[in-house]
Amino acid sequence: MTTLFVSDLHLEPERPDISCQFMDFLSGEAREAETLYVLGDLFEAWIGDDDPEPDRHRIMRAVHDLSDSGVACFFMAGNRDFLTGDVFRARTGFKILQDPTVVDLYGERVLLSHGDSLCTDDVQYQRFRRMVRDPLWQQNFLGQSIEHRSAMVSQARDASRAHTAGKSAEIMDVNKGAADIAMRAHRVGILVHGHTHRPAVHSFVLDGRPATRIVLGDWYEQGSMLRWRTGQEYELVSLPR
């Protein structure tokens, strides 16, 4: 049996190459898996379940087809698509996970997260994250017209680019202490997350025991996937485009 993990695809109409690769993935290797986890930022931006963009609906139908084929599909929202709601869930067939969540992978307790909540050195981003995750802020945002929301998201993306350009990579990376605290709190030895776009397998010692932090890659230039098989055999794989 095989479980697959992906994150940070950032699908958008302007990048059909990414969408095509993901569609091929859904109709290919994902069909042979037992479970698929998408750990956030499936879309570059999600402005609400009433977004009429046809490319997003095409992706949702493809995920639903995968779910209908018998593959268990799970979704955890990221910092780009945290406004996904009940309509998104129904149209994709995703089972929605809270961030963070502990899952059992063939006898191993594993902590899953998108990863942005662990980037605690970036104080400015954490303030922004708390603001946009507030239910009142979300209610006000979703009450705006599609056009107004699109404009707001475009402005936010420009601000984000300016924000990241002026900060060191270390500040925007996961804080090791925050990751350790999360793993201790959930009593796990393995953490899987995305967000930082730095695919790697980090092995270390936590409280005297071996521990692992697996970071999923983005799909900007190629795909990235964690393949986990029965028997605790896993590998972080690049998928050439």
* Tens-digit pLDDT profile for residues 184-223: 999 999 999 999 999 999 999 999 999 999 999 999 999 9
Mean pLDDT (the chain, rounded):
94
d(CA 149, CA 128): 17
* Distances 4 to 26, 34, 92, 133 between C-alpha atoms, Å: 11, 8, 17, 27
pLDDT at position 166 over 70:
no
The helix (run of H) or strand (run of E) holding residue 190 is strand 190-193
- Scanning 34-100, the segments in alpha helix (DSSP H) are 54-68, 86-92
> Of 21-30, 37-46, 154-163, 199-208, which gets the smallest average pLDDT?
154-163
* Vertex 5 angle, CA 36 and 54, to 5°: 65
Question: Which of the pair, 156 or 54, is modelled with greater confidence?
Answer: 54
Cβ atoms of 61 and 99 closer than 8 Å: no
Binned at pLDDT 50, 70 and 90, residue 232 comes out as: low
Model confidence pLDDT, tens digit, residues 79-118: 999 999 999 999 999 999 999 999 999 999 999 999 999 9
Name the DSSP class of 11. Answer: B
What percent of the chain has pLDDT above 90? 89
What is the pLDDT confidence band of residue 161, given thresholds at 50, 70 and 90? confident
CA 4 from chain centre, in angstroms, equals 13
**Res 198: pLDDT:** 95
Distance of CA 84 to the CA centre of its chain: 12
- CATH assignment of the domain containing 183: 3.60.21.10
The answer to whether residues 222 and 199 touch, using CB atoms and an 8 Å cutoff, is no
Q: Which domain holds residue 41?
A: 2-239
Q: What does pTM read for this prediction?
A: 0.95
pLDDT classification of 162: cutoffs 50, 70, 90: confident
> CB of 88 within 8 A of CB of 42?
no
**What is the bridge-based pairing of β-strands 200-206 and 209-215?**
antiparallel
Give how many domains the chain has, as a whole number.
1
Pairing of strands 101-105, 95-97: unpaired
- Per-residue pLDDT band for 165 (boundaries 50, 70, 90) equals low
**Residue 167 pLDDT > 90:** no
Cβ atoms 193, 169 nearer than 8 A: no
